[in-house]
Amino acid sequence: MKNLPMHRFLGLCAAFLMLCAAPLVHAEQQPGLAAAVDVRHVSRDLWRVDYRFAQAVTAVKLHSIGAFRKQEWTVLTPGMGMTSGPDFDVIASKGKPFKAASVQIRTFDGWSPKDYVSFNRFSDGGTSVYLGHLQGDVEQGDKTLAMRTDFKLAGLGQENVIAPPANRLHPGGPRGYAYFGPAQAVLAGAVKVVIDPKAPQWLRETILDVGAKTSGYYEKAYQRQLKDELLIMVAVGNVESPGFSMKGGAILGAGQVSYLLEGKQVQLDHPKLREHATKTVAHEMAHIWQLAIARGGVGDDQGPWIHEGGAEAMALDALAQTGLYSEEAVKAYRAKQAATCEKLGGAVDTFDGIYACGLMRFDKLGVGIVPLWRAMMEATEATGAAYSQQMIDTIVSAK
């Protein structure tokens, strides 16, 4: 994922890169309010979302996702409206309490670098919808409560609907992508996969093979089994655009990895693209293992360099140990990231810095990445506290 200090991060990258995402996790103790959310696909690019709350609320407060809601959301409930500030989109009824709200949403093709892509279009006409963008908080007067969401999904007539796994770490919390379209999920080992028919063979192979090999390695190295049912979605879009881009998002705590491939070169089976895709998959699977815990994990307020730089370091170790990368390829990637970090003066406050300097920080600790993350997983589970610099310092000083 990606990036920012803010609430949701995700990753993305430029012409040749990837990213991933982290979740926005509400503090574990935050009280919640039950919300039934019905998502209905009403025509090709139109969606209807009905919210029903267990108690009356005075506002629905959702973290801003670029222009998405401002541009594509229409509040249908009479007397209600949405206002968009720099941080939040707020749906309210002039201060009057309400228990239900309905919105109409058009498919949004933009995305904001700090977040997950709201919609992925598949070449077979299918669409996946990031349910996390429909979730957030509600207000009751001056009290803020997290929605504890229960989704119901309905597709168009013939559509197959594939729901993302439940959020195991935060029941009722952020969910991943739901797929609406003609495809069926297929089983690859224990993992469910929805792959765009346009995905070329080299990419299917890479995603499944690297996914299986790195999972096997992480399971042994970190001495943990996957806790989530895992659903992998691969969408291929925008094949007219130049170049190659691969965005990956691990939906933390929610058992899902979503990849979006774009660009003319997707069809090219080139060693450089394979190498890039291989690293992306190893990185996303590392996130899945960072969350193979019973509680704790990735928090809102801790620097994203911890889980992103950590995933980079875990991925390089896995690629080297499984032979997926040669020693030279690992060295070359490290050297490239070291150069990027040096240009940024070592800071982890930019998108590139989170990855590149995050990796450098782990490299400099003098503790192997495997024993370090194994200890971090034990620590987060023991206390429920999120992964943090302080946790790392404590582990390093005890070694």
Which residues contact Zn ion by CB under 5 A?
1, 11, 20, 308, 311
What's the closest the beta carbon of residue 308 comes to Zn ion, in angstroms?
A: 5
Q: Which is nearer to Zn ion, 11 or 126 (CB)?
A: 11
Cα pseudo-dihedral 341, 345, 346, 350, rounded to 10: -70
Token reading at 45: 């690019």
* Side chain identity at residue 177, one-letter code: Y
Q: Which is nearer to Zn ion, 249 or 263 (CB)?
A: 249
What's the closest the beta carbon of residue 114 comes to Zn ion, in angstroms?
A: 13
Q: Which is nearer to Zn ion, 49 or 250 (CB)?
A: 250
Q: Which is nearer to Zn ion, 138 or 298 (CB)?
A: 298
For residue 172, how far is the Cα from the chain centroid? 16
What's the closest the beta carbon of residue 287 comes to Zn ion, in angstroms?
A: 5
* Phi, psi dihedral angles at 129 (to 5 degrees): -120, 130
What's the closest the beta carbon of residue 361 comes to Zn ion, in angstroms?
A: 15
**Which residue, 237, 16, 248, is CA-closest to 107?**
237
- Tell me whether strands 32-43 and 143-154 are parallel, antiparallel or unpaired: parallel
Q: Which is nearer to Zn ion, 3 or 380 (CB)?
A: 3
CA pair distance 296, 166, nearest whole angstrom: 17
What's the closest the beta carbon of residue 351 comes to Zn ion, in angstroms?
A: 11
CA distances from 43 to 40, 106, 191, 315, 349 (A): 9, 10, 30, 41, 41
Q: Which is nearer to Zn ion, 17 or 49 (CB)?
A: 17
What's the closest the beta carbon of residue 9 comes to Zn ion, in angstroms?
A: 8
SS3 string of 340-381? Answer: HHHHCCCCCCCHHHHHHHHHHHHHCCCCCHHHHHHHHHHHHH
CA pair distance 114, 247, nearest whole angstrom: 12
Are residues 12 and 4 in contact, defined by beta-carbon separation less than 8 angstroms? no
Residue 398 contacts by C-beta under 8 Å, 6 or more apart in sequence? none
- Residue nearest Zn ion (C-beta atom): 20
Q: Which is nearer to Zn ion, 107 or 350 (CB)?
A: 350
What's the closest the beta carbon of residue 175 comes to Zn ion, in angstroms?
A: 18
